[in-house]
């Protein structure tokens, strides 16, 4: 990291605020509910012109026993600029912001949860001149690690999706077999060979 990036990351260091209630000696012990007040930042990225920093703000979600993450933007000059940090996305699972080379867009990962499927990240693009983020990918097994091309026309990413994952499943066709084994007999090994 450059010196400027290190200074920016240090300026964005998370501040842990734990509510205090006085005890006999004027101090209070930490309790398990204090964990719900934790907040921190992750993955700060300086804009190409050096004027702003986008970062992921992570909070504890006590109701769902997990974490929520949103994207925030702060001027690189910090409070001296007279502008406060502002929230860019509503989340609740937005991460990995990446500036386009011209600084006019931010690509990021958004994970959505559905009852029948685990959360899968997809790449979204947010215009910095206003407007909603739009989805860029719809990979059956998710997308991750977005990287802009030098001219900003393309985004490379990784995914575990294979070509056959795009084919529609026919009615009655089972999902591909997993690595789970169901043992129905007491004798399930033979001569140390295994399953």
Q: Give the residue numbers spanning the domain of 104.
A: 3-166
User: Is the alpha carbon torsion for 167, 170, 172, 173 positive or negative?
Assistant: negative
Q: Specify if 180 maps to a domain.
A: no
Q: Specify if 48 maps to a domain.
A: yes
Higher pLDDT, residue 96 or 22 = 96
Confidence of residue 26 (pLDDT cuts 50, 70, 90): confident
Average pLDDT for the chain: 81
Q: Specify if 49 maps to a domain.
A: yes
Q: Specify if 172 maps to a domain.
A: no
At residue 161's C-alpha, the angle toward residues 137 and 179, to 5°, is 140
Is-contact 89 126, C-beta < 8 A?
yes
Phi, psi values for residue 171, rounded to 5° = -60, 135
Residues 5, 132: Cα–Cα separation, whole Å: 28
Confidence of residue 34 (pLDDT cuts 50, 70, 90): confident
| pLDDT score at 184 | 73
pLDDT above 70 coverage of the chain, percent:
73
Residues 144, 43: Cα–Cα separation, whole Å: 14
The DSSP symbol for 93 reads B
Q: Domain total for the chain?
A: 1
0.95 exceeded by the pTM? no
Q: Which residues neighbour 22 within 8 Å (Cβ) at sequence distance 6 or greater?
A: 28
Q: Could you tell me what percentage of the chain is helix, strand and coil, using 3-state DSSP and rounding each to the nearest 5?
A: 10, 35, 55
Q: How far apart, in Å, are the Cα atoms of 20 and each of 24, 29, 30, 146? A: 13, 9, 9, 41
50: domain CATH number?
2.120.10.30
Q: What is the pLDDT of residues 137-195, one digit of tens each?
A: 999 999 999 999 999 999 999 999 998 888 865 554 555 566 677 777 666 555 555 55
Q: Specify if 106 maps to a domain.
A: yes
pLDDT reading at 16 higher than 60: no
Q: Specify if 194 maps to a domain.
A: no
Confidence of residue 6 (pLDDT cuts 50, 70, 90): very low
Average pLDDT of the residues in 53-69 = 89
| pLDDT score at 115 | 65
Is-contact 73 53, C-beta < 8 A?
yes
Give the range among 6-10, 57-61, 134-138, 141-145 with minimum mean pLDDT: 6-10
pLDDT above 90 coverage of the chain, percent:
47
Give which of 15, 20, 97 is closest to 52, Cα–Cα: 97
Q: Specify if 34 maps to a domain.
A: yes
Is-contact 157 138, C-beta < 8 A?
no
């Amino acid at each position: 990291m450059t010196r400027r990036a290190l200074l920016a990351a240090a300026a964005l260091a998370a501040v842990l605020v734990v509510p205090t209630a006085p005890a006999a000696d004027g101090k209070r012990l930490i309790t398990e509910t204090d964990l719900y007040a934790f907040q921190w930042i992750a993955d700060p990225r300086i804009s190409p012109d050096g004027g702003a920093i986008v970062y992921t703000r992570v909070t504890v979600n006590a109701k769902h026993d997990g974490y929520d993450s949103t994207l925030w933007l702060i001027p690189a000059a910090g409070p001296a600029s007279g502008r406060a940090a502002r929230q860019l996305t509503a989340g609740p699972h937005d991460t990995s912001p990446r500036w386009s080379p011209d600084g006019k867009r931010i690509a990021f990962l958004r994970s959505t949860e559905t009852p029948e499927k685990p959360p899968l990240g997809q790449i979204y693009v947010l215009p910095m001149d206003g407007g909603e983020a739009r989805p860029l990918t719809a990979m059956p097994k998710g997308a991750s690690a977005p990287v802009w091309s030098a001219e900003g026309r393309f985004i490379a990413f990784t995914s575990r999706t294979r070509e056959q994952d795009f084919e529609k499943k026919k009615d009655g066709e089972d999902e591909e077999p997993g690595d789970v084994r169901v043992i129905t007999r007491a004798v399930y090994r033979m001569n140390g060979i295994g399953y």
